[in-house]
């Protein structure tokens, strides 16, 4: 392995439907991404993670895949995907694609054959029963079983249009190993693995009982799959496997990061953490200690396509996030949330490991919680009363009103009129803008391979050094605090008061 780029990379998540539209139909596509690749080059990111772009009926925004070896026509075609990978590489940017191994679309040829009684029925979880086989609750809420005839049910941990695969079957394993090679052969630099801990189910189908082993979360057999995937990745040069692993147990989480399994996994601990100095320090320490134990790089994530944008979260009285605690519509002070989001950017970009930036995060976008109910498309809304559409609204590029040059048509989700000051055009060249803060911070990450050490600056202040001459200080106390002795301020998330660091502000310092 010559270049372990994923260990300290800045990785930008592109949600293709909402990044940029190249053909004017209101939905983002590969042509739009290729046309806007310069934005990502200028931002300075090391890699792009592409959310699913495969053929799909879009029952769950593309996470219901009907063919992993092609591109949905709404986004373009396979030749365009290959051109994007090549152009990104020319710009010095790697490409990570999204693989969804837990389930496929009900329109996938396998499931159609299964319903017709073919051998493919064994590739899924069909059970004969007069009553629902279990009372399992799906990941979106609601039942996890759908009846197909008088006494046969199939399992789906997400929507009924997403039947779960049976990973005990060798044909399922072989198919996904082939899919990995298909994309590695086309130049993909990494694979992001959706719902990585859910693949296996207890064949006895026990009910979920608190304190007992869970019947479909984090079963040990899943690790054999990722060991086989790692062997495939190691056949290629500098390829990475990155898991989406929602796992509160730190030891169980790091099992996925053992040297012969995944290279990295999303750390959601800090994402869900309250804006609180003690809790945030505890989260950072927990993360660093756990990853050090297996020699894996930590990852830092503030937002993604599934969670409320952190400008909104940090402006609420309750600054935490969880799917169980629906805070949609809770009042948010967006000025406060933006100030904290700016500080959080300097935090995540200066910690050891890799940082993930969700599209629009670099523009300071907030959650659009004003989408009319009849325009909501997220299937989670009907089951939980929470929609993820508010963080998936198309990006604003230029102009004073929607669609902000995202498209020449009508965007698939409405954009707020208040985003006219959040466009790429409006922020470019403005040293006080969120965009220029991100550009500067990513450019200044020369310390990324240096040792980390905490710096004691008193209660309510988080501070650390990276090597002998760099420090980050984040003030979470109730008032301004003095900066440590330093040679110069490299970057600050907001205005300083002389050598005082205001509340909810972070600064990067060159030490003497």
Residues 467 and 447: their CA atoms lie apart, in Å, by 7
Residues 376 and 414: their CA atoms lie apart, in Å, by 10
Q: Which residue in the list 224, 235, 289, 485 is annotated as catalytic?
A: 235
Per DSSP, the chain holds a count of helices (H) and strands (E) of 14, 18
Q: Catalytic: 401?
A: no
Q: Residue 398: CB partners within 8 Å, gap ≥ 6?
A: 404, 405, 423, 424, 425, 426
Q: Catalytic: 194?
A: yes
Three-class SS state of 442: helix
- Inter-residue long-range contacts of 406-411, CB under 8 Å, 24+ positions, other chains counted: 406/18, 406/20, 406/21, 406/28, 407/21, 407/24, 407/25, 407/26, 407/27, 407/28, 408/21, 408/24, 409/21, 409/24, 409/25, 409/26, 410/26, 411/21, 411/26
For the chain, report the end-to-end CA distance as a whole number of angstroms: 36
Full DSSP string of 5-50 = GGGS-EEEEE-HHHH--SSSSSS--HHHHHHTHHHHHHHT-SEEEE
Quote the strand ranges of 108-238, DSSP E. Answer: 126-128, 145-147, 152-155, 190-193
Q: Which residue in the list 46, 194, 378, 389 is annotated as catalytic?
A: 194
Cβ distance 508 to 490 under 8 Å?
Answer: yes
Distances (CA, A) of 381 to 14, 60, 275, 378, 411: 22, 11, 27, 6, 20
Tokens standing for residue 133: 């086989």
Residues 276 and 319: their CA atoms lie apart, in Å, by 9
Quote the strand ranges of 80-223, DSSP E. Answer: 94-99, 126-128, 145-147, 152-155, 190-193
Q: Residue 315: CB partners within 8 Å, gap ≥ 6?
A: 332, 333, 334, 335, 336, 337, 338, 340, 366
Any idea which residues carry the catalytic annotation? 194, 235
């Amino acid at each position: 392995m010559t270049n372990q780029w994923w260990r300290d990379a800045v990785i930008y998540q592109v949600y293709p439907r909402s990044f940029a539209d190249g053909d004017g139909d209101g939905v983002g596509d590969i042509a739009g991404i290729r046309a806007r690749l310069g934005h990502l080059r200028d931002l300075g990111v090391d890699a792009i993670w592409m959310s699913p772009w495969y053929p799909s009926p879009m029952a769950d925004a593309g996470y219901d895949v009907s063919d992993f070896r092609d591109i949905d026509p709404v986004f373009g075609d396979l030749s365009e995907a290959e051109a994007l990978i090549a152009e990104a590489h020319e710009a010095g940017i790697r490409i990570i694609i999204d693989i969804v191994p837990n389930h496929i679309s009900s329109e996938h040829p396998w499931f159609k054959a299964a319903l017709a009684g073919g051998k493919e029925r064994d590739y899924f979880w069909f059970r004969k029963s007069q009553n629902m086989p279990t009372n399992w609750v799906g990941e979106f809420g609601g039942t996890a079983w759908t009846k197909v005839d008088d006494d046969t049910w199939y399992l789906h941990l997400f929507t009924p249009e997403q039947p779960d695969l049976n990973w005990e079957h060798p044909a399922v394993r072989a198919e996904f190993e082939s899919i990995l090679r298909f994309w590695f052969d086309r130049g993909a630099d990494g694979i992001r693995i959706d719902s990585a801990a859910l693949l296996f189910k207890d064949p006895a189908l026990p009910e979920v009982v608190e304190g007992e082993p869970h019947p479909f979360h984090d079963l040990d057999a899943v690790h054999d799959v990722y060991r086989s995937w790692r062997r495939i990745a190691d056949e290629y040069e500098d390829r990475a496997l990155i898991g989406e692993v929602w796992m509160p147990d730190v030891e169980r989480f790091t099992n996925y990061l053992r040297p012969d399994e995944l290279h990295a996994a999303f750390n959601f601990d800090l994402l869900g953490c309250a804006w609180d100095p003690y809790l945030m320090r505890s989260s950072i320490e927990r993360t660093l200690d756990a990853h050090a134990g297996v020699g894996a790089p930590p990852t830092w994530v503030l937002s993604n396509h599934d969670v409320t944008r952190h400008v909104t979260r940090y402006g609420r009285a309750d600054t935490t996030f969880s799917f169980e605690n629906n805070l949609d519509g809770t009042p948010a002070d967006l000025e406060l949330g933006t100030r904290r989001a700016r500080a959080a950017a300097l935090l995540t970009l200066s910690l050891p490991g890799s940082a993930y930036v969700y599209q629009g995060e670099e523009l300071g976008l907030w959650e659009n919680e004003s989408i009319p109910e009849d325009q909501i498309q997220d299937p989670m809304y009907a089951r939980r009363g929470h929609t993820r559409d508010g963080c998936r609204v198309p990006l604003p590029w230029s102009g004073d009103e929607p669609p902000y040059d995202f498209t020449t048509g009508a965007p698939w989700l409405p954009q707020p009129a208040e985003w006219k000051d959040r466009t790429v055009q409006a922020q470019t060249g403005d040293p006080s803008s969120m965009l220029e803060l991100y550009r500067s911070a990513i450019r200044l990450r020369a310390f990324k391979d240096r040792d980390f050490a905490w710096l004691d600056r008193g209660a309510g202040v988080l501070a650390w050094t990276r090597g002998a001459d760099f420090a980050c200080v984040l003030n979470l106390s109730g008032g301004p605090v003095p900066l440590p002795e330093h040679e110069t301020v490299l970057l600050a998330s907001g205005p300083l008061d002389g050598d005082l660091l205001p509340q909810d502000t972070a600064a990067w310092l060159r030490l003497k």
